[in-house]
Structure 1
């Protein structure tokens, strides 16, 4: 009987990354899904935690996770089509869960492509609950007339902006100010840039960019103060940022939006983004996973 070997990823060479990319492509084409396991976030310093399952030097499974708040882990994973239902996913999850619990992680959030039957079957068997669905969107072509406010300025954040950022984000997304403050502290990284939008020197919104690669930018934490919404600020902020990223020669610009947020979806499409994939997010506590794995 063939034996699997599960190891924590420590080799971030081009050769190792290429193995993961090939497995992702194989799973994606075999399942006819829009699988994306966040390969761009695999790096030696500041990257996601990752685990590999190998058999006779062949990569047959992968799982990675990261946390933005120290409480919930965001998880991506895949298993070679020929090695499913053989304990690969369970082995990877056991190893990851052990490390998560040492760091105080209380729940896991799995991202599953909406068109991946194998992924959906696995997560339902695990007993996780569907919480949200999200469209991934990628910039197709900037609509040059997208910005409709000439009185707004988008500038880099400074230390004095933190209180506004906490207030704006917590009011827009419904999180507590304490959670939001902790989130910003944990996600302050060199490759993650924050911009604050001002109108006549008064802050009205914010937007962040994660440069996962030199030419690949992910837009997130985009919000406008509720009291300022409906005045065209959202469209102006997004348009100005996209222009800036294009000037920086970013060839891939993407963002995500909850499927139920049709207002935001229409805004993004009007600026030039198009839907590239849909994902479902399932959540389960680490204590329930531990019981399931026994």
Structure 2
């Protein structure tokens, strides 16, 4: 039986993931915009709540909306509609249903995020009276980039994190990103240390753990996130050594591109990433709107 109309999903089947990827590729090809889809999360939905909303006509996927919940106070939201079917109310329908779902879960805030070049997404943000929140650059280091010189400093060691270090990593994350430890924990900064698809590395200086870096180990791309150093150990070259070592580590495991995202206002991080061969490919804007 052909799919038709709205489909709510708690987990996504392989066929649905392929349909979503094809729609994203079409949007990119036709309009030159990037749709930010967290594939590792889409493939491993918990099945406990509805986070994916799909709209079909005669078996063809025409619209898709995804929710990502990193803490109970907000959900990030993104989506897309077939370029030939814009301005027909498809995304508004998906958004209303996602809004209802979040209200039933007691989530008070939505963060819309989209490629700055998407005029349709900008118009939608204005229509729902969303307020600008912040922007991030997506930066990519292509496989063809020049090899890195990995600087070695005496007493510095980069190694896989241990499961019993989870509380320490929460503490480092909270201090580095200036957030409470409760929020660091809610943001799942300590999850998946032993996950086969997520890798957590720590930086030791004279036996003390002073920073960490994580990446999602996907087939075509390694995505770096959660990279931070304790404030008192910043500016000493440990961050660059950690990043360069991680790039080398990723490429040794399987050659592919490496990506990350960084706030557009973080000049220090931007300079570091550029020095390691990363280049800006997309700007994502975040807009805040209350649920309800």
State the partner residue of 2:226: 221
Please point out which of 149, 161, 167 is paired with 1:145: 149
Structure 1 residues 282 and 147: alpha-carbon distance in aligned structure 2, compared to 1, 3 A threshold: farther
Does the 8 Å contact 1:38/1:76 carry over to 2?
no
1: CA distance between counterparts of 2:23 and 2:162?
42
Does the 8 Å contact 1:31/1:118 carry over to 2?
no
2: CA distance between counterparts of 1:46 and 1:234?
34
Does the 8 Å contact 2:72/2:107 carry over to 1?
yes
1: CA distance between counterparts of 2:232 and 2:135?
27
TM-score, structure 2 normalization: 0.88
Structure 1 residue 113 and structure 2 residue 115: aligned? Answer: yes
Does the 8 Å contact 1:217/1:250 carry over to 2?
no
Q: How does 1:1-294 map to 2 (within 5 A)?
A: 5-9=5-9, 10-13=11-14, 15-39=15-39, 41-43=41-43, 45-46=45-46, 49-140=51-142, 141=145, 143-184=147-188, 187-188=191-192, 190=195, 191-211=197-217, 213-286=218-291, 290=292
Q: CA offsets per residue over residues 79-135 of structure 1, 9 Å max, x none? A: 122222222112111222232233332211111101111111111211111111111
Does the 8 Å contact 2:229/2:239 carry over to 1?
yes
1: CA distance between counterparts of 2:229 and 2:119?
37
Q: CA deviation at 1:215?
A: 4.4
2: CA distance between counterparts of 1:144 and 1:217?
17
Structure 1 residues 208 and 155: alpha-carbon distance in aligned structure 2, compared to 1, 3 A threshold: same
Structure 1 residues 11 and 267: alpha-carbon distance in aligned structure 2, compared to 1, 3 A threshold: closer
Q: CA deviation at 1:20?
A: 1.9
Q: Give the aligned length.
A: 282
Cα RMSD (Å) of the superposition?
Answer: 2.2
**5+ long unaligned stretches in structure 2:** none
Q: CA deviation at 1:69?
A: 1.3
Structure 1 residues 147 and 129: alpha-carbon distance in aligned structure 2, compared to 1, 3 A threshold: farther
Which secondary structure state, in structure 1, belongs to the residue aligned with residue 209 of structure 2?
strand
Structure 1 residues 225 and 154: alpha-carbon distance in aligned structure 2, compared to 1, 3 A threshold: same
Structure 1 residues 132 and 146: alpha-carbon distance in aligned structure 2, compared to 1, 3 A threshold: farther
Structure 1 residues 150 and 19: alpha-carbon distance in aligned structure 2, compared to 1, 3 A threshold: same
Q: CA deviation at 1:147?
A: 2.7
Q: CA offsets per residue over residues 242-281 of structure 1, 9 Å max, x none? A: 1111111041311111111111111011112111211101
Deviates more, 1:95-104 or 1:236-245: 95-104
Does the 8 Å contact 2:169/2:190 carry over to 1?
no
**5+ long unaligned stretches in structure 1:** none
2: CA distance between counterparts of 1:270 and 1:129?
33
Structure 1 residues 132 and 143: alpha-carbon distance in aligned structure 2, compared to 1, 3 A threshold: farther
1: CA distance between counterparts of 2:122 and 2:191?
29
Structure 1 residues 228 and 218: alpha-carbon distance in aligned structure 2, compared to 1, 3 A threshold: same
Q: CA offsets per residue over residues 187-219 of structure 1, 9 Å max, x none? A: 4372222211101101111111122x2342211
TM-score, structure 1 normalization: 0.88
Structure 1 residues 155 and 175: alpha-carbon distance in aligned structure 2, compared to 1, 3 A threshold: same
